[in-house]
Amino acid sequence: MNLRRTGAVTRKEFLHIARDARSLAMALALPLFMLLLFGYALTLDIDRIPTMVYDADQTPESRELIARFQGSRYFQMLQAADDYRSIEAAINRNQCLLGVVIFEGFARHRLSGTGAPVQLLLDGSDSNTASIGLGYARTLLQAYDFELRAIAQNRRGGGTATVPVQPQLRIWYNSDLKSRNYIVPGLIAVILMIIAALLTSLTIAREWEMGTMEQLLSTPLRAAEVVLGKMAAFFALGVVDMIVAIIAGVGIFRVPLRGDLVFLAISSGIFLVGALCWGILISAVVRSQLLAYQLGALTSFLPAFLLSGFIFDIENMPRVIRAVTYIFPARYFVTILKGVFLRGVGAEVLWREAALLLVFAVVVFLAATRMLKQKVA
């Protein structure tokens, strides 16, 4: 390994990057743009659920229940429904997600203490949102029912009603339950994987198409020196993108950063090396810039977005898919980012993930080097 020859390749790549101002601007601006776009547009928080109420009882007691829904931030009350068909029509037009039906005789049953049934109609085409909406509505109705039982018992002289088991909640790491705090750290890993793979997936393929690869192979340059030289130039860009993404996550989205910055920097560097080497490996295999770009996008975006635990819980995936996720480095880096940002842990907990990132980087670097050792076809 000759550092002088490696430095010459790095300088060559820096000159190429500097001459292509549009690609350089895209490489620096795209991560921030994607972070802002996905950070604001992608949210798992569900509130202001469109709700219609069909009040067949029309009594002060039924209107009191309606007022509970109106006072909750989780429900957005639409116009009152006159019958079931009004709710069905609103659901079919995607104007309403939840329908609440208060039957005739609600006040009579409530005052007699025999139980006043309330019907909930949900649009199940979006099962996740419907499940969460159902949970909100059930919680509101249960709280309302307990208050009524307490009032009735107090009137009968039986004292104040108490709940047999009263849970006391303590939420760690994300006490406000903001999905943004969960999404943004994982989004940093997805963005870096995409950018790193796409930046380097064109380097070797460009040399093949321009006919300069034969000249490089005819020089004393070794394959490892070519890979390291090309990767070093783009590694600098990746570090800048990483810093911009972290600053945006903490400064714009207010995501807490509680962990060890040194461990975060080291693990991010290892991840970048692996992602950049993966792009170089793709570029060395296909020898076509168009195909390299398409393959780089396919093997970076989809696995990082779907199989990293960024949004979808890996434990809920089928066993075969769960086994496949172990070969993608984004899975481990997402775990590291969420651990450092939210839990405040470091190498003492996340050393296994960092070690697996290192193994991936070494394996991909060796594979890219081996591909470049082959003779020109």
pLDDT category of residue 236 using cuts at 50, 70 and 90: confident
Q: Which of 265, 276, 255 lies closest to 336, judged by CA?
A: 265
Kindly report the backbone phi and psi dihedral angles of residue 344, in degrees, each rounded to the nearest multiple of 5, phi listed first.
Answer: 75, 25
pLDDT (mean) for 10-34: 78
What tokens appear for 283 in the block?
A: 């570029």
Q: What is the pLDDT of residues 264-295, one digit of tens each?
A: 999 999 999 998 888 888 888 887 778 888 88
Kindly report the backbone phi and psi dihedral angles of residue 265, in degrees, each rounded to the nearest multiple of 5, phi listed first.
Answer: -65, -45
| Contact assessment for residue 140 and residue 77, using Cβ atoms and an 8 Å cutoff | no
DSSP category for residue 122 = E
pLDDT at 40: 80
Q: What is the pLDDT of residues 134-146, one digit of tens each?
A: 888 988 888 888 7
Q: What's the rounded Cα separation, in Å, for the pair 110 and 222?
A: 84
pLDDT category of residue 153 using cuts at 50, 70 and 90: low
pLDDT at 376: 44
SS3 355: helix
* C-beta neighbour count of 313 within 10 angstroms: 7
- Please, what is the average pLDDT of the chain? 83
pLDDT category of residue 155 using cuts at 50, 70 and 90: low
> Alpha helices, DSSP H only, in 74-222?
84-92, 106-112, 127-155, 179-200, 203-210, 213-218
CATH architecture assignment, domain 49-155: 3-Layer(aba) Sandwich (3.40)
Can you spell out the DSSP letters for 32-101? HHHHHHHHHH------SEEEEEEESS-SHHHHHHHHHHHH-TTEEE-SPPSSHHHHHHHHHTTS-SEEEE
pLDDT (mean) for 238-250: 88
Beta bridge partners of 100: 53, 120
pLDDT over 60 at 305, yes or no: yes
- Higher-pLDDT residue of 210 and 193 is 193
Q: What's the rounded Cα separation, in Å, for the pair 98 and 46?
A: 13
pLDDT at 314: 86
pLDDT at 164: 63
Q: How far is CA 237 from the centre of its chain?
A: 23
pLDDT over 50 at 323, yes or no: yes
pLDDT at 105: 85
Parse the chain into domains and list their residue ranges.
3-43+178-372, 49-155
- Higher-pLDDT residue of 96 and 8 is 96
Q: What is the pLDDT of residues 42-93, one digit of tens each?
A: 777 777 889 999 998 888 888 888 898 988 888 998 888 888 888 988 888 8
pLDDT at 377: 44
